[in-house]
Amino acid sequence: MEEWQFPPNYDEGYFPDPSSRYWFPERETMDPAAREAKILGRLQEVMNYAWQNSAFYRRKWEEAGVHPDHIQSLEDFEDRVPVITKQDLRDSQAGAPPFGDYLCIPEDEIHHIHGTSGTTGRPTVFGIGRRDWNTIANNQARVMWGMGLRPGDMVFIASVFSLYMGSWGTLTGAERLGCKCFPFGAGAPGMTQRAVTWLKMMQPAGFYATPSYALRLAEVAEEEGVDPREFGLKVMFFSGEPGASIPGIRDRIARIFGARVVDSGTMAEITPWMNGAGSSETGGMLLWQDMVYGEVCDPHTNRRVPWGEQGTPVYTNLERTSQPMIRLQSGDLTHWVMEDNPCGRTYPRLPRGIYGRIDDMFQIRGENVYPSEIHATLNEMEGYGGEHRIVITREGSMDELLIRLEPSKGLEAYGADAVKEFRDKAKHDLERMLGFRVGIEMVAADTFPRTDFKAKRVIEDRDLYSSLRQEAE
């Protein structure tokens, strides 16, 4: 396998032949069983490294009665190695601030610091060593090559540059790929209008953001009298939220911009986050197993589910030395398959990408509801204005679902009858998809604020509804 060692030591001057479909042909197309044998050896190396350098993992594994020497098969790894959670990471950092006792390198070797926002509690700190940063660059350059980007292409990075790993991971990958990097970083008021101007002027080949931002950009371009196809984009790749693998959203973005849409992104904690990413020929997301070993597991037992079934991804870094994640449970939702991929890569695939989180899913009358499915259905409808809110309410003992929905400005201009016809169709399509009654409230176009980052569209209103009812009584 090309450049396969631990700790990694990539050749920074390496580039494949420009006509090659693959960055590393052997690693990307080898027999899956042969790759798994290699992965087993790497898991043993990574576990021994963590045992020697991390009190966190040594403590966790001793409690579970497992030692790295016990892992003689992938089944042993799955059966005997406990998962870790984001709460475990937060607890470790609270006890051994700021980086936690799962940091496996001296603090003076840390090169980049990123992390979570901490809006719901203590933020999680990512301490990334220089060797790991170079590894991230090489891995993500390799995936971006698979998307169809090449040295010399311009890559426009629209997402904000902050603690968020998506922007920085894209930038370092594009730099390693030899691209012309445009770290635009939308986020401040008026920046999206400026993005329209810059995109039309610079004609980049690649574009990175969240799916919500791409749709917002299209709205602003229309307001500015610009057809988004005038940007000349070839490859648009996304992370940060579900959408780019869901047909209704993916196809709408592709149609508006006239570009190939590629989904990517798993978790910031296990960066390189592009370890889950599609390619120029394969939709959904491939699990690039020789970067990060991915399992899709039952969220209760943490055992792998069979091909074709749904579960939560569990990730293990195979090349990280600073804060390695070993069986980190994501809490996301996906399903996986193992079949021939159009691009010839022999990795497992997530056909619909990461389409939600376990804690985002809610139940209405016994039916599981995923916000991404509602978003996808609306995006397939002519006349949808691009934003909505999902309001979960309760009257008596029964939950109710209300969708507050914007029409497009063009539809609104046709008058009340056109808006009512759209409302009736939205109600019919959503009820057919969900399998239960849905309330639809039409609001004026541009009622809801737009975002340059991840959209939040679900409003949990059960308690509020109950309290208001009690006050009224």
Cα separations (Å) of 21 from 11, 138, 146, 292, 337? 19, 16, 7, 21, 22
Can you name the residues that pair with 238 across neighbouring β-strands? Answer: 209, 263
* Rounded average pLDDT over 280-288: 97
pLDDT of amino acid 467: 45
Q: What is the pLDDT of residues 177-231, one digit of tens each?
A: 999 999 999 877 789 999 999 999 999 999 999 998 998 899 999 999 999 999 9
Token representation of residue 324: 């390695």
Q: What is the pLDDT of residues 251-260, one digit of tens each?
A: 999 999 999 9
Residue 333 has pLDDT above 70, yes or no: yes
pLDDT tier for residue 452 given thresholds of 50, 70 and 90:
low
pLDDT of amino acid 468: 38
pLDDT of amino acid 229: 98
Which has the closest alpha carbon to 266: 237, 240, 231? 240
260-263 vs 206-209, strand pairing mode:
unpaired
CA dist 184 and 448 (Å) reads 25
Contact in structure between 155 and 180 (CB atoms under 8 Å): yes
pLDDT of amino acid 473: 42
Pick 362-472's CATH classification: 3.40.50.1970, 3.10.20.600, 3.40.50.1820, 3.30.300.30.
3.30.300.30
Query: At 374, which helix (H) or strand (E)?
Result: helix 371-379
Contact in structure between 81 and 326 (CB atoms under 8 Å): yes
Q: What is the pLDDT of residues 124-148, one digit of tens each?
A: 999 999 999 999 999 999 999 999 9
Q: What is the pLDDT of residues 406-436, one digit of tens each?
A: 999 888 888 899 999 999 999 999 988 888 8
pLDDT of amino acid 469: 41
Of residues 467 and 157, more confidently modeled: 157
Range in 76-85, 270-279, 342-351, 370-379 the model is least confident about: 370-379
pLDDT of amino acid 463: 53
* Mean pLDDT for all residues in the chain: 91
Q: What is the pLDDT of residues 61-99, one digit of tens each?
A: 999 999 999 999 999 999 999 999 999 999 999 999 999
| CATH no. of 1-359 | 3.40.50.12780
Range in 76-85, 158-167, 325-334 the model is least confident about: 158-167
CA dist 58 and 98 (Å) reads 19
Q: What is the pLDDT of residues 357-402, one digit of tens each?
A: 887 777 776 677 878 788 888 988 889 988 899 888 766 555 788 8
- Find tokens 């790295």 and name the residue: 68
Contact in structure between 76 and 48 (CB atoms under 8 Å): no
CA dist 41 and 148 (Å) reads 31
pLDDT of amino acid 10: 97
Cα separations (Å) of 57 from 102, 110, 170? 7, 20, 30
pLDDT of amino acid 3: 95
pLDDT of amino acid 1: 86
Contact in structure between 374 and 403 (CB atoms under 8 Å): yes
CA dist 296 and 332 (Å) reads 10
* Rounded average pLDDT over 325-345: 96
% of the chain beyond a pLDDT of 90:
73
pLDDT of amino acid 370: 76
Q: What is the pLDDT of residues 3-53, one digit of tens each?
A: 999 999 999 999 999 999 999 999 999 999 999 999 999 999 999 999 999
* Domain locations in the chain as residue ranges: 1-359, 362-472
